[in-house]
Amino acid sequence: MREDELDRIDEEARQRGISREELLKRAAVAGLALAGSGGLAQIARAGIAATPKRGGQFRVGVAGGSSSDIIDGQDIVTNPDQARLMAGFETLVGFDKNFKLKFNGLAEELSPNKKGDVWTIRVRHGIEFHNGKTLGAEDVIYSLHRLIDPKLKLFGGAALSSVNPHGMKKLDKRTVRLHLKHPDATILDALGQYVAGIVPVGYSPHAIGKAKPNVGTGPYKLKSFTPGQQSVHVRNPNYWRHGQPYFDGVVIIDFPDDTARVNALLGGQVDAITNIPPAQVGIVNGRSGRKVLESPTAQWTPLCMRVDTAPFNDARVRKAMRLIADRPQMVKQALSGHGHVGNDMYAPFDTAYDHALPQRHQDIAQAKSLLKAAGQTHLTVDLQSTNGALGMNEGAQVFAQQARAAGVKVNVKILDSGTFYGAQYLKWPFSTDFWGTRNYLSQVAAGSIPTSPYNETHWPDAADRKFLTLYREALRTINRKKRYEIEHEMMKLEYDHGGYIIWGFSNFLDGYNTKLRGLVPGWKGVMQLNNFGSGFRTFWFG
Amino acid sequence: MSTVAAGFERARGILPRPRGVWGFVLRRVLLGLLTLFLVSIVVFAATQTLPGDAARAFLGRNATPESLATLRKQLHLNEPVVSQYLHWLGGIFRGDLGNSLTGSQQPVTSVIGARIENSGVLMLIAAVISVPLSIALGAIAARRRDGVFDHTTSIVLLALAALPEFVTAILLVVLLGTSLFHFLPPVSLIPPGGHPWNYPKELVLPVIALVFAVTPYIARIMRASMIEVLESDYVEMARLKGLREQTVLWRHALPNGIAPAIQVIALNLAYLAGGIVVVEFVFAYPGIGSAFVGAVHNRDLPTVQALGILIAAAYVFLNVAADVATILVSPRLRTSLK
């Protein structure tokens, strides 16, 4: 069966809220499946072309990391924590290389009632945690309780606000019924986030990263862990996906320093690294046996204007600022060209993303006339930034240069992160920030409504309150087509009046030794290295 | 030597005077402790100048009123500054440096314990190689003053002295680790729980970088002081007695020539304690240097304070040791204490 056909089935399964297996089974019964296109033969050929080999110790150097590293199935602090979480823990559903939701996780079924406020979750049969416990309904209930525990304040909990802690019922060994506070079309997205890992009953109930034993259902078991240095993981012999994983073990090593990380790859001390500085891409590609893997992302470092504070409480000023940005130049200079141009709209990987919105271009003349109309001809503003992610400071500085042409003076203030994220954070009138890859409605929940944990722009302004009504309506709309229409209306409001200047999305630049196989170029990932090989189970040594 | 004498004079002014060499040692140690006490005030005061307070600095984007309140209580930030300081100082004497703020909040002592071993081994090897090497280089250069050896070493050592150690370190990596040759590991991955002496290959490049960083200074001062000694009357006398040149150089001239160098050696070894930060970072060597950088980055104040005091203590200890050693090798100073 062809890839796109499987995609279509997944799409349909998602829409109808049943599992892919279920749909395939039904199709088979109807005598439709696997017919035509010589599907089986094709799969067989692909299989021969790239038969994964078992064995070896995979060593990966991950950017960042410090003594604040943790391992938790539902939370992360640093970048290496993501890799460690992926090695040991899994979610009910997942995303594929096109950032499309797939029923490829622990859940065999995840389906709503007609209204979308009651969901049934059934986990697959015979999956074991690393300590031998069989995955069951009680673990799912426990995991969801832990995710939304207000005391733990887990990041993944924000997207699960519709989950009613008193509305979870165990139907049988593997089935849970979930009664939501209100219909919620984003529940699958929320359960597919990598931080929504399923943990066994009793897993570290009161603290983050302190589970003993630290067990999940993932491809590798944790053997040892020293925060700020490295962790060692060994192959899970009872892993449920047939044949996977391929390595005997995985070592995840912290590398805060860019130079040391690249040197370790060049010197052969690690097999792959994340985050190659753009300036060193040529060096790595120029070395035989080493290669750079470039993957697009939907992560962004916006300039954030507070829509409720002068001068940005005037929508004309916001529009003028957005027209000042020469986005291709910003991507070229701030990201050294390793990225994609943005259109003041987040979530470009979402199937709901409105590609009909015209690409915004620099238009200094129009910006000037808007500023004049708003009485802000000689506007001077402070732009607060910090070295939080590649593109924050760089983007701010390039923008300040471009603003001069429109007579706007932008004073870039680079603060240390303690000050930036201190008492003033989310109160700066004009600042930078960074966000990861999310779908549209999940991102709205995280940053664009008054109840969001990080709403830098204080959107929506008084004139666009309609946005909130639309948001609630979208959540309740299970029919995808109707929901997309509502989402497009929301996007239009943000595109016209919003407080974000979204100039670009950066690419992941990872390096690997060419003896490593299974890497997929162009993977639309949330994390580096194909989401760390979905827990290092899709890579092998050739 | 003048600093020793001056320090000695000062010490004599304010302290009771046990006599002799041991009295001198005692006074130096007490002064060292006084210095450390002052350093502890500075280290502590520095943490008070942070924007907001330590709790806010650490929590950053994740700060919530509850977590701030908890952390402030844990760090005793609600108490007056003086009692915070006394609490912290008292902890040092009890061997309790507080808990690291990060991750699993282990005691600072266990976080930095293994790191101290790693850095200690690195420094020790660097010192054991660089001190005799630089003394020998300096002495030979002085003996063959203006010869080929002297000129060559002068140029090479000056060049090395002019390069910051991170530049030499990176050059070494490029030369021996990644680009030109590939026979040494470019980064020093010593797994947790492993001892550095079990990974000799990993130690080579950082040790060379550190040796390059300190050797030039010691060798230069050694050369200058040996030239002075070799021109003195008693060396002339020894030569006239018909002693072999080797004996004159190593037995008679060296002990006197080495006295001024001891101060420089001490300063350079103390510098190693701080300069190791940069070299460890380049090689991703898991020592106190990278722990220090990481702790500053994470605003993990208890760890920063502990490492600050530790490095200051290394400075003070090495300076006291140098003063004492200078006295012991210089007969003139030794007898003046009697």
CA distance B157 to chain A (A): 26
Residue A49's contacts (CB-CB under 8 Å, 6 or more residues apart) are none
Do A261 and A335 lie in one domain? The reply is: no
Cα–Cα distance for residue pair B166/B276, rounded to 1 Å: 10
The residue-averaged pLDDT of A201-212 equals 88
Partners of A229 on chain B (C-beta within 8 Å) are 191-192, 286
- Look at residues A354, A299, A327, A298 and name the one whose alpha carbon lies nearest to residue A494: A354
Give the pLDDT score at B312. 86
Region A145-156: what's the mean pLDDT?
87
Instruction: Tell me which residue of A375, A254, A275, A194 sits closest to B290, measured CA to CA.
Output: A254
* Secondary structure in 3-state letters for A167-235: EEEEEECCEEEEEECCCCCCHHHHHHCCCCCCCCCCCCCCCCCCCCCCCCCCCEEEEEEECCCEEEEEE
Min Cα separation A48/chain B (Å)? 36
The nearest CA of chain B is from the CA of A327 a distance in Å of 28
A252-266 confidence digits (pLDDT tens): 999 888 888 999 999
Question: What is the chain B residue with the closest CA to A253?
Answer: B189
Lowest mean pLDDT among A57-61, B11-15, B96-100: B11-15
Q: CB contact, 8 Å: B296 with chain A?
A: no
Question: In the numeric block, which tokens belong to residue B288?
Answer: 């106190």
Indicate whether A8 pLDDT > 60: no
Question: E strand or H helix at B40, and its extent?
Answer: helix B20-48
For residues B265 and B75, the model is more confident at B265
Answer for the pair A70, B103: CB distance below 8 angstroms, yes or no.
Answer: yes
- Pair (A347, A379) in one structural domain: yes
Instruction: List Cβ neighbours of B57 (8 Å cut-off, separation of 6 or more).
Output: A418, A422, B50, B51, B299, B301
Is residue A197 one of the residues assigned to a domain?
A: no
Res. B62: pLDDT tops 70:
no
The candidate with the shortest Cα–Cα distance to A249, out of A91, A128, A88, is A88
* More confident site: B173 or A489: A489
Q: Which of A177, A192, A207 is the last residue of a domain?
A: A192
Quickly count: other Cβ atoms within 10 Å of residue B250's Cβ. Answer: 13
Q: Is the Cβ pair B189, A253 closer than 8 Å?
A: yes
Mean pLDDT over each residue of chain A, to the nearest integer: 88
Read off the pLDDT band of B9 (50, 70, 90): low
**Number of residue pairs across A and B with CB atoms under 8 Å?**
113
Report how far apart, in Å, the C-alpha atoms of A475 and of each of A160, A188, A354, A459, B149 are. Answer: 12, 12, 17, 18, 82
pLDDT tens for residues B132-152? 999 999 999 998 889 999 999
Q: What CATH number does residue A131 fall under?
A: 3.90.76.10
Residue A64 DSSP one-character state: B
Q: How confident is the model at residue A36 (pLDDT cuts 50, 70, 90)?
A: very low
Residue A186 shares a structural domain with residue A100: yes
Rg of chain A on CA atoms, in Å: 24
* CB pair distance less than 8 Å for B51 and A264: no
Q: Do A418 and B299 count as a contact with CB atoms less than 8 A apart?
A: yes
**Mean pLDDT of the B306-312 span:** 87
Which segments within A309-369 are labelled E, that is strand? 339-341
* More confident site: A146 or A46: A146
Instruction: Compare A129 and B198 and report the one with higher pLDDT.
Output: A129
Mean pLDDT of B161-190: 84
Decide if A74 is inside a domain: no
Q: Over range A238-252, report the average pLDDT.
A: 95
Q: Do B102 and A421 make contact, defined as CB atoms within 8 angstroms?
A: no
Section B201-205 average pLDDT? 89
- Whether the per-residue pLDDT at A26 is higher than 80: the answer is no
The residues that bridge with A62 in the sheet, in sequence order, are A254
Task: Note the pLDDT of residue A12.
Answer: 54
Question: Which DSSP category does A535 fall into?
Answer: H
Is A52 contained in some domain?
no
Q: Which helix (H) or strand (E) holds A385?
A: strand A380-385
pLDDT at B155: 93
Q: Hey, of A68, A226, A416, A417, which one would you mutate to test binding to chain B, going by the most B CBs within 10 A of its CB?
A: A68
On chain B, the residues whose CB falls within 8 A of the CB of A422 are 51-52, 56-57, 60, 63
| Residue A277 and residue A179 in one domain | no
pLDDT at A45 over 60: no
Contact B255, B143 (CB under 8 A): no
Would the pLDDT of A408 be above 70?
Answer: yes
How many Å apart are CA A407 and CA A411, to the nearest integer? 13
Q: Given pLDDT bands bounded at 50, 70 and 90, which one contains residue B24? A: confident
User: Does residue A81 lie in a domain region?
Assistant: no
Chain A residues with beta carbon closer than 8 angstroms to that of B192: 224, 226, 229-230
Query: From edge to edge, which strands make up the β-sheet containing A430-432?
Result: A409-414, A380-385, A430-432, A303-305, A500-501
- Predicted confidence at residue B108, as pLDDT, reads 82
CA neighbor of B282 nearest in space, from B294, B290, B274: B290
- Using alpha carbons, select from A285, A256, A301, A279 the residue that is nearest to residue A506: A301
The answer to the question of residue A153 being in a domain is yes
Residues A234 and A314 placed together within one structural domain of the fold: no
Q: What is the pLDDT of residue A18?
A: 52
- Average pLDDT on B14-42 reads 81
Mutation to test the A interface, candidates B104, B117, B288, most A Cβ within 10 Å: B104
Q: pLDDT class for A74, splitting at 50, 70, 90? A: very high
Phi, psi of A430 (to 5 degrees): -145, 120
Among A140-154, A319-333, B188-202, B263-277, top mean pLDDT goes to A319-333
Q: What is the pLDDT of residue B16?
A: 54
* Percent of chain A clearing pLDDT 90 (strictly above): 70
When pLDDT is averaged across residues A376-400 and rounded to a whole number, the result is: 93
Cα–Cα distance between B55 and B43 in angstroms, integer? 17
Residue A358 within any structural domain of the chain: yes
Q: Which has the higher per-residue pLDDT, B3 or B191?
A: B191
Place of tokens 């409504």: A449
Is pLDDT above 50 for A2? no
In this model, does residue B334 exceed pLDDT 60? yes
Nearest CB among A67, A266, A423 relative to B52 is that of: A423
Kindly state the tokens that stand for B26: 């005692």
**Residue B20 binned pLDDT confidence (cut-offs 50, 70, 90):** confident
CB nearest to B60's CB, from A257, A269, A421: A421
CA A313 to chain CA centroid, nearest Å: 31
Phi, psi angle pair for B74, to nearest 5°: -60, -35
Contact yes or no for A70 and B52 at CB 8 A: no
Q: What is the pLDDT of residue A233?
A: 97
Partner residue opposite A229 with nearest CB, options B56, B177, B192: B192
Which of A324-333, B222-231, B322-331 has the highest mean predicted lDDT (pLDDT)? A324-333
3-state secondary structure of A450: coil
- As a whole number of angstroms, the distance between CA A186 and CA A298 comes to 18
Its domain, for residue A266, covers 57-67+218-289+514-541
Based on the fold, state whether residues A280 and A337 are members of the same structural domain. no
Residue A73 belongs to a domain: no
Mutation target to probe the A interface, by most A beta carbons within 10 A, among B171, B180, B187 is: B187
B284 touches chain A (CB under 8 A): yes
A34 and A119 part of one domain: no
Tell whether A30 is covered by a domain. Answer: yes
- More confident call, A533 vs B334: A533
B33 three-class SS: helix
Residue-level pLDDT at A7: 53
Task: State the nearest Cα–Cα gap between A29 and chain B, in angstroms.
Answer: 52
Residue B256 has pLDDT above 80, yes or no: yes
Q: What is the pLDDT of residues B119-134, one digit of tens each?
A: 989 999 999 999 999 9
Distances, alpha carbon B133 to alpha carbons B126, B226, B270, B291, in Å: 10, 15, 18, 30
Name which of A228, A264, A423 is nearest B294 (Cβ-Cβ): A228
Find which of A263, A287, A304 to mutate to test the B interface (most B CBs within 10 Å of its CB): A263
In this structure, the strands spanning A303-305 and A175-180 are unpaired
Tokens describing residue A22: 């279920």
Looking at the structure, do residues A484 and A431 belong to the same domain, yes or no?
A: yes
pLDDT at position A450 over 80 = yes
Distance, in Å, from the CA atom of A394 to the CA atom of A381, rounded to the nearest integer, reads 17
Is residue B279 scored above 90 in pLDDT? no
Both A277 and A343 in a single domain? no
Provide long-range contacts, Cβ within 8 A and 24+ apart, for A328-331. Answer: A329/A398, A329/A402, A330/A395, A330/A398, A330/A399, A330/A402, A330/A503, A330/A504, A331/A503, A331/A504
Q: Which residues of A lie closer than 8 Å to B, measured between beta carbons?
A: 66-70, 77, 153, 209-210, 224, 226-230, 253, 255-257, 259-261, 263-264, 266-269, 416-419, 421-423, 425, 454
List Cβ neighbours of A280 (8 Å cut-off, separation of 6 or more): A258, A262
Please determine, for residue A48, whether its predicted confidence score (pLDDT) is greater than 50.
Answer: no
Give the pair of three-digit tokens for residue A202.
Answer: 């009793």
From A68, A417, A425, residue closest to B102, measured CB to CB = A68
Same structural domain, A497 and A534? no
Least CB–CB distance from B51: residue in A227, A269, A419: A419
Q: Is B294 on the interface with A (CB under 8 A)?
A: yes
Report the residue of B102, B182, B184, B307 to disrupt the A interface, i.e. the one with the largest count of A CBs within 10 Å. Answer: B102
Q: Please count the structural domains in chain A.
A: 4
Alpha-helical regions (H) of A405-479: 417-420, 440-447, 466-476
Query: Residue B10: is its pLDDT beyond 70?
Result: no
- As for the ipTM of the complex, it is 0.73
Region of A536 on the Ramachandran plot (φ > 0 left; ψ -120 to 50 alpha; else beta) = left
Whether a cis peptide bond, with omega within 30° of 0, leads into A450 is: no
Q: What's residue B8's pLDDT?
A: 52
pLDDT computed for residue B6 by the predictor: 54
Contacts of residue B231, defined as CB under 8 A and 6 or more positions apart, other chains included, come to: none
Inter-chain contact B298–A266, Cβ cutoff 8 Å?
A: no
A216 contacts A199 by C-beta, under 8 angstroms: yes
pLDDT at A232: 96
Query: What does the pLDDT average to over B57-81?
Result: 73
Angle between helix axes A392-404 and A327-334 (nearest 10 degrees) is 140
A421 confidence band (pLDDT: 50, 70, 90): confident
**Two tokens at A218?**
């993932």
SS3 A68: coil
Residues A313 and A414 in one domain: yes
Mean pLDDT within A378-392: 91
Q: Do A267 and B187 touch (CB under 8 A)?
A: yes
Q: Classify each residue of A139-161 as buried b or exposed e, where b means 16 or more C-beta atoms within 10 Å of its C-beta.
A: bbbbbbebbbeeebebbbbbbbb
CATH number at residue A224: 3.40.190.10
Question: Which chain B residue has the Cα nearest residue A224?
Answer: B192
Q: Which residue of B49, B61, B298 is the best one to mutate when testing the A interface, meaning the one whose CB has the most A CBs within 10 A?
A: B61
pLDDT score recorded for residue B98? 78
- CATH (domain of A317): 3.10.105.10
Among candidates B103, B191, B281 on the partner chain, residue whose Cβ is nearest the Cβ of A67: B103
Is A255 in contact with B284 (Cβ distance < 8 A)? yes
On whether both A336 and A450 belong to a single domain, the answer is: yes
pLDDT at residue A91 tops 90: yes
What is the residue-wise DSSP string for A110-123? EEE-SSSSEEEEEE
Measured CA to CA, the distance from residue B168 to residue B150 in angstroms comes to: 22
Mean pLDDT of A161-172: 93
- Helix H, strand E, coil C: the string for A294-325 is EECCCCECCEEECCCCCCCCCHHHHHHHHHHC
Nearest to A493 by CA among A451, A464, A456: A464
Residue A1 has pLDDT above 50, yes or no: no
B3 and A CB contact within 8 Å = no
The fraction of chain B above a pLDDT of 70, given in percent, is 88
For residue A66, give the nearest of B50, B102, B191 by CB distance. Answer: B102
